[in-house]
Structure 1
Amino acid sequence: MDKKQKQNDEEFYQSFLNESMQDYAKNHKVPEENQKRLINAGRNHALKTNIMITLAILLLIVPVLTLSSYLYYAIGGKANHLIDITTKTIYVTEPNMSLEEMELEEDIGFFTMNIYFDVFKRIGKEDYKAGEYSILIALDKPNFPERDMKLERPLPITGDMETDMLYHPDGPYGKKVNSDWDILEHLPDGTVGEIYLSLNHLIKPEELENQFGNKVEVRWVAVDTGLEDKNLYEAGYSVAPIGYPLQVDTSTWSPFNGEKSNEEVFLDILKFLTKDEKTAEKISRARSLALKERISYIEKNGIQVYGAVVTGPTSELRKLKDNDLIKVMKVGEMKLWNWK
């Protein structure tokens, strides 16, 4: 094949190729409108695919997180531990307050747990609902409780101390406080009441019961811990009264159910709370519990009390005015007659 023939063949091939390409383009040309439709369809398909993948991942993550939260709180024992801290804190920081652990509810979320429970006060011979608590716990850190109290005279929180119902005989707060004997005098005889008594001097718990006889009942005692006679507020913090029920509670859920003496249970609870003191402080109405210092003082000096919550018929409560042991009396809750 000569050079000229080869060149002719190449030109013929190139011409054929161009005609073929033009023919293909002419026969297979997609209109611009169809092109946009195809592009939009592809985009929508990609978006739906991404959404389905994301939903699949979320649907996988939700049960994993739920299971992880359940394992953290329930299986790991964290829920029971936090409930233990909550219930025991109430018993030793809230005068004459108790709860029914069987009715305590918990709701586990994504690494959070809500605890709901009611608190009760013994007034006369019956327990009355005093309020509702709700505590949100994130991991193991509780928020301040939401309290919905149902009391006529709830414990106040003032600027320089936690409560103005119980006063240490040597403390800085009770020297100018007036008693509520006039209020008690004007209440009808057919009622029962709860009163807060602050004493003139420290006394052993068993001696306190003997002072008042069997016509009234000492429900809760405030324990001297070596800090109540100091103006700690000036040092930047204050402590609330701590104490324990003087009566045995036969309810199986109560820590003061008679298996040990109430004094022993009280000290056991304080030592238990030292491991999570910040949590206990959040749950209580105290700015500071200062548990280590207080435990050390009690173990060295024994348990002596400076105040008490007493309940009984109003007529019998009035008679306590003549008792030289009492320095200050504050009226708590009153109810219709239920004394048996």
Structure 2
Amino acid sequence: MNKKDRNETKDEELYETLIHDSVKEFEDAHSHNEKELKQIVQKSKNSALRTNILISLAVLLLIVPVMTLSTYFYYAIGGRANNLIEVASKTIYVTEPNMSLEEMELEEDIGFFTMNITFDVFKRIGKEDYKVGNYEIYHAFDKPSLPKRNMSLERPMPEIPSEETEYLVHPDAAIPLDRSDEWEILRGLPDGTVSEVYVSLTQLMSPEEIEKQFGKNIEVRWLAVDTGVEANHLDGEGLYVTQLGYPAQIDDTTWSPFNGRDQTNEEVFMDILQFLEKNEDVTVKIARGKSLMLSERISYLKQHGIHVYGAVVTGPTPELRKLENNQLVRSIKVGEVKLWNWK
């Protein structure tokens, strides 16, 4: 091999070396860039995820106070919350015999466009008021669900009333068959007790007249009012119509609508019915009976006046037994019984 050939061979080797080194540098650079690219992509994903989380948290933190303020604003408009509370309390007074509540202890829990009302209910038995349970009424916006009644009564009224289970019976209605043993129950109670008795009358009477019929040792607590539908207690669709009445005694507690300050109990009763008529869709959910017919019954009362067909009375058990000899008493239903507290 001559000198010229040797030089050409060296040049070829040098060229191949340069090409090899260039390819290796390119491969190394490409490999390095691909790794960095993957890291960049991953960092971008992490950054986007953090951003989305932060945005979501910001939106939630913004929504919660906005929704809370909107809810309070909704229930504050026009006194909506107070109105719903008033409907619930007044429904109890005029549809549940001898039952009252302490509005000062009523609790309300407001959520997102919901309101839950809870309150205790009481009965006067003898000379004392006894807590007999509590109500819980859940509202979605201004629409109530059926109330949860947690009662601790020895002889509770049926959850779904009917003509056969009604405690106070109109003179023109048939007496339920289960009433034959009620006098025996009353006679079997110890003398050292006070009792609550539901008295059905043989005829309609004015509120003033009925107060005179039972003597000083028996207290009339609640009056069942004739409104023109009590003979069968059914509306045109066959639904049971809720009984209506009002407390016979003045309740001097500040929260009671029957506190006797400006109106008689009869006048308060009529005012309550007209108030409930404007909120009848809410009232009918709270009342045990699922028909009220308030418009028709209010018209009847305005035309015929208030007459009573039954009453809830309380007193010493021996005194209540004497009602069996009262010609105005058609039938009775024994309610709650407590140890002697008559003063």
TM-score norm. by structure 2 comes to: 0.88
Distance in 1 between the 2:240 and 2:186 partners? 30
Contact 1:122/1:128 (8 A) holds in 2: yes
CA distance in 2, matches of 1:92, 1:162: 21
1:24, distance to aligned residue in structure 2 (A): 8.3
Q: 1:70 to 1:317 in 2, by over 3 A?
A: same
| Deviation of 1:241 (Å) | 1.1
Larger displacement relative to structure 2 (272-281 or 163-172): 163-172
Residue aligning to 1:295:
298
Q: Could you list the per-position Cα deviations for residues 260-319 of structure 1 after superposition, in whole angstroms to 9, with x for gaps in the alignment?
A: 100000000000001110101111111101100100001100000111000000010001
Give the partner amino acid of 1:256: F
Q: Which runs of 5+ in 1 are unaligned?
A: 1-19
Give how far 1:158 is off.
5.0
Q: Is the CA contact (8 Å cut-off) linking 1:118 and 1:132 kept in structure 2? A: yes
Aligned to 1:305: 308
Once the two structures are TM-superposed, the CA of residue 174 in structure 1 deviates from its matched residue by 4.0
Amino acid at match of 2:170: H
Q: For the aligned residues, what is the CA RMSD?
A: 2.2
Q: Deviation string for 1:35-86 (max 9, x for gaps)?
A: 3332222112101101110110110010011011111213641111111111
CA distance in 1, matches of 2:174, 2:42: 80
AA at the equivalent of 1:202: L
**In structure 2, which of residues 200, 203, 223 is the aligned counterpart of residue 201 of structure 1?**
203
Tell me the equivalent position of 2:4.
none
Alignment of 1:62-73 (within 5 A): 62-73=64-75
* Equivalent-residue separation in structure 2 for 1:162 and 1:237 (angstroms): 13
Query: 52, 55, 61: which one pairs with 1:50?
Result: 52
Matching residue's letter, 1:307? G
Contact 2:161-2:288 at 8 Å conserved across structures: no
Task: Specify the alignment match of 1:318 in structure 2.
Answer: 321
TM alignment of 1:60-99, pairs within 5 A: 60-74=62-76, 76-99=78-101
What is the match of residue 152 of structure 1?
154
| 1:280 aligns to 2:312 (yes or no) | no
Per the alignment, residue 16 of structure 1 pairs with none
What is the CA deviation profile of residues 8-59 of structure 1, one whole-angstrom value per residue up to 9, with x for unaligned ones? xxxxxxxxxxxx9x98896575354443332222112101101110110110
Give 1:175-214 correspondences, 5 Å limit. 177-178=179-180, 180-214=182-216
Q: Secondary structure, in 3 states, of the residue corresponding to 1:106?
A: strand
- Residue 10 (structure 2) aligns with: none
C-alpha contact (below 8 Å) 2:122/2:130 kept by paired residues: yes
For the structure 1 residues 43 and 25, does the alpha-carbon distance in structure 2 shift closer, same or farther, using more than 3 Å as the test? same
1:122-133 aligned within 5 A: 122-133=124-135
Match of 1:262 in 2: 265
Structure 1 Cα separation of the partners of residues 207 and 45 of structure 2: 81
Is 2:179–2:332's contact at 8 Å kept on the other side of the alignment?
Answer: no
**Letter matched to residue 195 of structure 2:** G
Unaligned runs of 5+ in 2: 1-21
**Cα offset, 1:160, TM superposition:** 3.7
Secondary structure at the aligned position of 1:132 is classed as strand
Tell me the equivalent position of 1:5. none
Q: Distance in 2 between matches of 1:85 and 1:179?
A: 37
- Mean Cα deviation higher: 162-171 or 87-96: 162-171
CA distance in structure 2 between the partners assigned to 1:202 and 1:72 by the alignment = 46
Name the residue aligned to 2:106. 104
Q: Is the 8 A contact 2:179 2:333 kept in 1?
A: no
Equivalent of 1:121 in 96, 120, 123 = 123
Provide the residue aligned with 1:222 in structure 2: 224
- Give the corresponding residue for 1:137: 139
8 Å CA contact retained: 2:163, 2:233: no
Say if 1:161 and 1:239, in contact at 8 Å, map to a contact too.
Answer: no
Give the count of matched residue pairs: 321
Bigger CA drift: 26-35 or 199-208?
26-35
- Counterpart Cα distance in 2 of 1:91 and 1:149: 16
Distance 1:158 1:61 in 2: 42
C-alpha distance 76-51 of structure 1, shift in aligned 2 (>3 A): farther
What SS does the corresponding residue of 1:334 show, helix, strand or coil? strand
